[in-house]
């Protein structure tokens, strides 16, 4: 697969945080699914030639092409501690099961899911169990934006599953576990990020130690002149006269941090090219 493009599809695409990060990692976006009107306008501006659908409940193999990777940050409202705690039984966060249905129909090699850190105690067991039921072995880590230099924490859980539904893939997955080398680091361990050595927010600075990410990643061209992120995007400080200010803030708040997505995407691309899956 070294000479072939790695393709991905984006569920719950939002304003394209996953999409931007994965493209920076060298992948090619083939389709996006997003229901929000404002987010769709952003996607249409930056990905004008990408196939787009709106309602995940109406998507599947009949209107989405097979891809190597499917990613998506499914709704967090019922999982967040700020919500009522319905979890995956909630109307919005329950759309996770629609994502699973799409994965079942398209059978990507890799699936990447994202949600708030509350998922660790409000449904991660069901997420992992459901992925296992459809033939995907998974690993997960809570990766904060601070790990890639942001001056805020923004903890998010990323679940990465790979297809082990046939004997050869299952066998290779077993060999990988025995060698304790997963896409996030040592299989079955959390210390790659849970104890990664970054200082989250210290006098406005956030240091990180992601093995050269800061020095080598193209993502760093968007940080401030000091090497740190700007404290917030330029969306203005007043409500009047700022175009779509509320929509922009909501879109940014819901988005996956592209630099984190790029770091994950580069590891996925390396693994796929090495025929990891």
Q: How far apart are the C-alpha atoms of 144 and 159, rounded to whole Å?
A: 14
Tell me the C-alpha to C-alpha distance, in Å, between residue 87 and each of 80, 121, 138, 159, 217: 8, 10, 20, 16, 35
71 is catalytic: no
| The one catalytic residue among 29, 59, 71, 76 | 76
| Residue that is written with structure tokens 């940050």 in the block | 73
The CA angle 90-106-88, to the nearest 5 degrees, is: 10
- Segment holding 30, helix H or strand E: strand 28-33
Burial class for 29, CB neighbours closer than 10 Å (0-12, 13-18, 19+): buried
Beta strands 28-33 and 51-53 are: parallel
Q: How far apart are the C-alpha atoms of 170 and 42, rounded to whole Å?
A: 40
Name the packing angle between helices 124-133 and 96-106 (round to 10°).
20
Beta strands 7-11 and 69-73 are: parallel
The residues assigned a catalytic role are 76
């Amino acid at each position: 697969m070294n000479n072939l493009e790695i393709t991905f599809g984006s569920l719950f695409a939002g304003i394209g945080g996953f999409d931007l990060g994965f493209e920076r990692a060298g992948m090619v976006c083939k389709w996006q699914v997003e229901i929000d009107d404002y987010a769709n306008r952003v996607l249409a501006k930056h990905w004008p030639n990408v196939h787009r659908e709106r309602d995940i409940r109406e998507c599947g193999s009949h209107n989405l092409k097979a891809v190597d990777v499917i990613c998506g940050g499914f709704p967090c409202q019922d999982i967040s501690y700020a919500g009522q705690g319905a979890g995956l039984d909630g109307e919005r966060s329950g759309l996770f099961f629609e994502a699973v249905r799409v994965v079942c129909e398209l059978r990507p090699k890799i699936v990447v899911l994202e949600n708030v850190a509350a998922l660790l105690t409000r449904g991660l067991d069901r997420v992992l169990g459901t992925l296992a039921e459809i033939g995907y072995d998974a690993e997960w880590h809570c990766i904060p934006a601070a790990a890639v230099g942001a001056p805020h924490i923004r903890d998010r859980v990323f679940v990465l599953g790979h297809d082990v539904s046939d004997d050869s893939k299952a066998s290779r997955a077993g060999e990988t576990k025995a060698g304790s080398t997963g896409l996030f680091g040592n299989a079955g361990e959390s210390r790659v990020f849970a104890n990664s050595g970054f200082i989250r927010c210290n006098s406005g600075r956030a240091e990180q130690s992601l093995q050269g990410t800061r020095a080598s990643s193209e993502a760093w061209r968007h940080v401030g002149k000091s090497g740190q992120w700007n404290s917030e995007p330029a969306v203005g400080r007043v409500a009047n006269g700022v175009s779509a200010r509320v929509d922009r803030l909501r879109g940014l708040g819901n988005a996956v941090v592209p630099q984190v997505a790029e770091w994950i995407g580069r590891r996925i691309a390396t693994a796929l090219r090495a025929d990891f899956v």
